[in-house]
Every structure is written in C-alpha cells, then in structure tokens.
C-alpha cells in the first residue's frame, strides 16, 4: 500500500493561522465551522426590528411555559422512579424559572438591546456568573449551576440552530466548534453529518473525543479561545494527526490539506476492505476485536468495520440523552435492540457510570471537591438500590432474546475498588433474578464482570477472580488514577501516558494474573485502538480488545503483520525502559518496521 502522507511544513502565513491542541482522533478534514456555544446564540447578532422584539418576547414566554412543563414532568417521574428527595432539584429549577427578578432581567434585555431571547439569556448568565464569582459560599455556587441548567433548558426550547445553521452552509463538510461537546449537543445536532470536531476544553477521553473516535471523525481538543477566533461559516481545517487547526487557510494551504484528506480517506477505505477477514496475527493466533459504543447509532459502524461484537456499551449515554428518566421497560427495549443488532449478538453492557465529568441532575453531586475520586459509578448506584436494580433487571430480561447465533450478554460493573463491593454486586444480581422468577418474567444467562480501573483493584486482582466470570480493563481511568493526574486537565495531561513504565507494569501484572487463573480478560480503553498500545498489549498476552469501531480495520491490519513472538519481544524490551518517551519512540520504530502502513494513523 503506497502512502504519501507526510507532515506538512508549517511556514509563513500558515504558521500565523495555526492553532494547536490535543490530537484525539486521526484524519484530516477541510470544511466550514459550525459553532455551538453553551447557550445557542443567534450568530447574526443584528438588532431586531420593532415588530420582531414583540415576537421574541412572546417566544421567550412560550419557552418558559414549555420548560416549566418539562420540570413538572421530570419531578413526577424522578419522584416515582428514584425518590422524592432526588426529585426536589426540579422544584428548585422551577422556582428559578418563575423567579420575577430573573424573568424581568431577560425580558428587559430583549427589549432594551433589541436582541434575541437566546442572546438575552447569555447576557443574563454572564451577569450572574460575574456576580457569583465574588462569593466563596459553596451553596451559592451550586445555585449558579442550577441557574445554568435552567437557561440551557430554555435555550433548547428557543434554539433554531439546527433549522437555520447547517443547511445554510452550502453542503460543505461540517466542523463542529464548541467549548465542550456534550451528549445533549449530539442529540440537538440530530442527523447532521459532522465531518470534524474542535473543542476548547476536554482531552483524549472527553465526550467529544469518544464520539469522534467512535465515528472516525478527525478531532482536536484543548484549543484555547477557539470560539473567539472563528464564527459559523468560516473556512477551517482540522488535522487530527498533529493536533492542529487552521483558520481561514490560504489557497495553497487548503490545496495541500485537501490532498492529505483524500489520502486519508483512501487509506481508510483500503483498511476497511479487511472487514470480512478473520482477526489474527501473522502466525495465525486468533484475536477478538470488539467495538465500544455509546448507543444504537454506533452499531452500523461496528458492523461495517468488522467488529466481532460490542465489548463495551456505555449505558450512561442512554440516561444522559433521555428527556427524563428511562424506565425499566424503556431500558429493556433499548438493550434488546442492542443485542439484536450487535455483531454476532454479543454485547457487554456496562451499568450506569455517572459521576466525574458526567452528571445527571437527579443523581449527580456537584458539590464535591474532586468528583473523579468521589461519589460516582457503583458508589453512586449503591445509594439508589431500587434505581440500580431496574437496570440490572432490564439487562437480565433482555438476555432472554432469541437470536441466531445465540446471544452472548455480559454485565459489567464499573469502578469496583474492594472485594466487598463485588460481593454486594453479585448479591444484587441474585436478588433481581429471584424477583424476575417470582414475577414470571423471562430472563437469560448473563456473565458477570468487573471493570478494573482503580489501582487498588488492579494490585489485588487475584482476590476478585473467584467472584467474576471475566475482567475488563478500563485503561482510561486506570492511567489517570495511577499517575494522579486529571486526564482532561491540560496542565497535567502530559502525565497521563498509557505507555508510561508504571502503567505498562500494572497492565502486565493484570493480564498475566487473569491468564494464569483462566479468566477471560479484555481491555476496553482507548489504548486498545492505538497501534503502539495494541502491539504492547498483544505482546503481554492479551487476545481480546475493545475499541472505537473506526480503529478495528487499523488494528486488524497491524495484527496481520506481526507474529506473537515479535510482539512479545517488543513488549519485553519496552517493560525494561525507564521513561514514557523512550517507550513511545521504541514502539513507533518497531511499528515502522513491521507495518509502516498504519503508523500515520497512530495519534501521539
């Protein structure tokens, strides 16, 4: 396979147009920017005419009525399905929504500045943000978060962004530019075909990064102040290999990047041709290449890329994008469809992994100093046993679906830390099984597994193995916890290196311990889809990998070019090196020799 993919030389006018960020999804796209602000603002910014001001005030009043109806419905549903205490947040939001001071501020802003209700909401939010920034009172800071939620809800009812935005851009490839791409934004974008993503915040494991990789979209995160430098309709280039964004490129730069874009697409098409070939090494060792998915919309890509099943279904996206609370019946239907449509009807369903950077108003706790180390995942689920059991019951019932070949369903619990938690989880599953049996509801066989992402569990893994049917390594969180560095904080993100000596040694211990005990083990972090990460994991003995669908052809190509003995030799030498830089350079050299076709798609 001939490749002409060489890094562009950055000189002259191109240098002045460049913005650097974090490369999170490889590829190149030349397109037009489509800016999503946290509050969707009319991009025109032109003063309204007199008659339009009146219509805008009426539109705002209608949005208030719709938002109030939303909140009342949410309160009733959360109270019945989760609990009255958790539902009180929606009463608090409704009180803010009907607060005369807030409403008068917005209406006055529309009338005085002759601006849209969207723009008025943003002005009011900025005013309150400035005011609240002076206080050290945590209670008042949380009220600002509540106000923000209310304004986002109002903005959603007012938004004309999809109707008036992408369609007006002339059919050009769409590059979404946002502060942070949230699940709610993805829903708002609907069926718009996104070709690139640029965000101001976030890192390699942010929502934007996960979405981009799952769909094979070039993406760069951590580009500071990009929303101040670009507006909707501007020409923009995203280079997801090098972590570069080019604004208003000159004709020469645009032509050069268009050539790169064509070469990337050609390479991806060539790699995708191996979708029906078996996943195996050069010496014939079979491998499992599975897909990480966020929802049913990712399954076509998993099928098209040749995945052998779904190795990680992140169910939190079902909750994050649901307008209220998914009932047991709604979850059951979703999981049935997932199993029915998944390749080979194989699905690993992870229970709700909320907390850290993903919160649901009726479950999240925003007052924590360090939410990533706090009340999240199963720790939070244990606090809401009835709510948690509904999800387990839905999975057990979904597993009873009849398919050919027979469905293989696995239940995965995130962030298990101590043995007592795993014992309690198994007891919860048994309780749900007894409930369903007593109710006469069908249920199917489900394997129980734990996600190893906490160092305490990784070090003590042998104590868990008699309590689980399989182990799934969550390398994204495991890396940040081992390195004591927030993976999305640009000041310390350089420490979150999957190829650091400490991480590799822990992974080696985990894989060897599971294999010695005969327990199936999979790695479902982003490391699995990285050529360098995959080669090292293969050399450590791992044979099951779950990754973003877009990376499966790439990994399959690399696997077919290397023997198990070669991979083991590379891994052994890497484990003897002392720095992450040495490891990265060494493994990159090995990939260049073994399979140079794939090195261009290896994000640094």
Whether the Cβ atoms of residue 25 and residue 222 lie closer than 8 Å to each other = no
CA distance 373 to 455: 12
Q: Give the pairing of strands 18-20 and 219-221.
A: unpaired
Instruction: Write out the catalytic residue numbers.
Output: 207, 524
CA distance 116 to 110: 6
Q: Can you point out the beta strands (E) in 428-579?
A: 447-452, 470-473, 521-523, 544-547
Q: What are phi and psi of 223, to 5 degrees?
A: -95, 100
Asked if residue 405 has a cis previous peptide bond (ω within 30° of 0), the answer is: yes
CA distance 455 to 337: 35
Report how far apart, in Å, the C-alpha atoms of 22 and of each of 208, 209, 221, 432, 548 are.
12, 10, 5, 44, 18
Nearest alpha-carbon partner for 147 in 99, 83, 77: 99
Whether the Cβ atoms of residue 316 and residue 358 lie closer than 8 Å to each other = yes
Number of neighbouring beta carbons within 10 Å of residue 536: 27
Q: What are phi and psi of 193, to 5 degrees?
A: -85, 110
Number of neighbouring beta carbons within 10 Å of residue 135: 12
Nearest alpha-carbon partner for 214 in 602, 598, 550, 474: 550
Tally of residues, the chain = 604
Cα-based angle 456, 414, 305 (whole degrees, multiple of 5)? 120
CA distance 261 to 267: 10
**Residues ≥6 apart with Cβ < 8 Å to 191:** none
Place of tokens 């990712």: 298
């Amino acid at each position: 396979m001939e490749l002409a993919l060489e890094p562009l030389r950055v000189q002259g006018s191109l240098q002045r147009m460049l913005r650097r960020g974090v490369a999170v999804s490889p590829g190149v796209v030349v397109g037009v920017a489509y800016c999503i602000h946290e509050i969707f603002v009319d991009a025109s910014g032109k003063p309204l005419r007199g008659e339009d001001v009146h219509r805008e005030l009426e539109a705002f009043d209608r949005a208030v009525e719709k938002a109030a109806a939303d909140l009342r419905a949410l309160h009733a549903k959360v109270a019945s399905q989760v609990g009255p205490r958790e539902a009180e947040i929606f009463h608090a939001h409704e009180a803010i929504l009907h607060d005369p001071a807030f409403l008068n501020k917005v209406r006055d802003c529309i009338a005085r500045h002759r601006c849209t209700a969207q723009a008025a909401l943003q002005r009011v939010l900025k005013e309150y943000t400035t005011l609240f920034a002076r206080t050290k009172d945590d209670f008042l800071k949380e009220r600002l978060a509540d106000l923000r939620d209310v304004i986002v809800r109002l903005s959603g009812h007012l938004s004309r962004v999809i109707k008036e935005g992408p369609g007006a851009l002339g059919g050009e490839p769409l590059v979404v530019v946002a502060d942070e791409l949230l699940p709610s934004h993805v829903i708002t974008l609907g069926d718009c075909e996104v070709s690139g993503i640029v965000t101001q915040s976030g890192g390699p494991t942010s929502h934007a990064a996960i979405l981009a990789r799952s769909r094979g979209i070039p993406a760069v995160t951590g580009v500071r102040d990009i929303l101040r430098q670009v507006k909707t309709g501007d020409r923009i280039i995203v280079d997801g290999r090098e972590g570069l964004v080019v604004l208003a490129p000159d004709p020469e730069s645009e032509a050069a990047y268009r050539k790169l874009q064509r070469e990337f697409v050609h390479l991806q098409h060539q790699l995708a041709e191996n979708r029906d070939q078996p996943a195996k090494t050069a010496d014939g060792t079979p491998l499992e290449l599975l897909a990480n998915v966020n929802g049913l919309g990712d399954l076509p890509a998993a099928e098209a890329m040749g995945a052998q099943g779904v190795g990680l279904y992140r169910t939190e996206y079902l909750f994050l994008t649901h307008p209220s609370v998914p009932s047991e019946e709604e979850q059951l239907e979703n999981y049935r469809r997932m199993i029915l449509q998944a390749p080979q009807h194989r699905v690993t369903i992870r229970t709700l992994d909320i907390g850290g950077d993903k919160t649901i108003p009726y479950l999240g706790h925003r007052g924590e100093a360090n939410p990533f180390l706090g009340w999240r995942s199963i720790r939070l689920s244990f606090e809401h046993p009835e709510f948690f059991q509904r999800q387990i019951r839905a999975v057990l019932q979904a597993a009873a679906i009849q398919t050919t070949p027979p469905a293989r369903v696995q239940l995965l619990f995130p962030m298990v830390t101590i043995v007592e938690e795993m014992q309690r989880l198994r007891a919860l599953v048994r309780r749900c099984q007894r409930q369903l049996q007593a109710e006469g509801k069908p249920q199917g066989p489900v394997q129980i597994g734990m996600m190893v992402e906490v160092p305490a569990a990784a070090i003590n893994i042998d104590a868990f193995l008699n309590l689980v049917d399989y182990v799934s390594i969550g390398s994204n969180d495991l890396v940040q916890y081992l390195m004591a560095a927030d993976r999305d904080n640009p000041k310390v993100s350089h420490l979150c290196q999957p190829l650091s000596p400490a991480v590799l040694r822990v992974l080696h211990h985990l894989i060897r311990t599971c294999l010695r005990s005969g327990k199936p083990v999979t790695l479902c972090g982003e490391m699995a889809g990285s050529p360098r990460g995959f080669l090292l994991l293969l050399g450590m003995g791992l044979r099951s990998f779950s990754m973003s669908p877009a990376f499966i052809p790439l990994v399959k190509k690399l696997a077919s070019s290397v023997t198990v003995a070669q991979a083991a030799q590379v891994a052994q030498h890497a484990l003897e090196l002392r720095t992450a830089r040495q490891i990265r350079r060494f493994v990159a050299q090995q990939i260049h020799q073994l399979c140079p076709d794939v090195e261009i798609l290896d994000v640094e």
